Amino acid sequence: MSADAPIRIRLDQDSDYAFRITFDDTALAPLLTDEPAPLGHDRGPNPSRLLLTAVANCLAASLLFALRKHRNEPGTLTAEICALPTRNEHGRWRIASAKATLHLPGHNADYRNLDRVLAQFEDFCVVTQSVRQGIEVDVNVVDGDGRVLFGDKSFEAGS
C-alpha cells in the first residue's frame, strides 16, 4: 500500500445479495460476498464478517511487524475476533464492539523487547486505528447516465 495511491475496489452484483469484489490494480482473484439467509444464500462472507476479518488480520500483521522489527522470529501467529451485533437506538444492526485475541506461539521469555512490542503494535494497524477513530465516507448514487441521484451533485461517476 502506497500513501499516494488510492485503494480502488469494485463490486458487481452477482445475484440477490451476492456481490463479486474486484481489487483494482492487483492480480488478486475476485472475492464473492453474500448475506446469510433469509436475505442471501451465504455463498461468501458478508460485510460484517469482512470488517471483523480486516480488524483481526491487521492486528495480527501489525503484531508480526512489531515482533520482527525487534528481531524476533515468531512461529505461526493466530488471531480470533468476536462481536455480537446489536441494535442501535433506531433498531438498526450495528457492530458496536469486538474482542480480538492474538495468540503468540511459545512463551513471553522467547521474545526480545516484548514489552516494547506490545506497547506499540496496535499503532501500526491501519484498519483498527481507522475504525476506532471513525472514517468519513461520502456516498453518492448515480443512474445509468451518470446523473447524481443522491449525494454530492458535483461528483463525477467513475472518479
On the question of pLDDT at 154 being above 80, the answer is: no
Phi, psi at 101, each rounded to 5°: -125, 125
Question: Residue 159's pLDDT band (boundaries 50, 70, 90)?
Answer: low
The C-alpha cell at 35 is 448475506
Average pLDDT over residues 25-37: 96
CA distance 36 to 51: 15
pLDDT at 111 over 60: yes
Q: Which of these, 27, 79, 36, lies nearest to 56 by C-alpha position? A: 79
pLDDT the model gives residue 156: 63
Burial track 59-98 (b if 16+ CB lie within 10 A, e otherwise): bbbbbbebbeeeebeeeeeebebebeeeeeeeeeeeeeee
| DSSP annotation of 30 | P
pLDDT at position 84, please?
93
pTM: 0.87
pLDDT band at 157 (very low <50, low <70, confident <90, very high): low
Q: Tell me the pLDDT band of 136, cut-offs 50, 70 and 90.
A: confident
Q: What is the pLDDT of residues 57-98, one digit of tens each?
A: 999 999 999 999 999 999 999 999 999 999 999 999 999 999
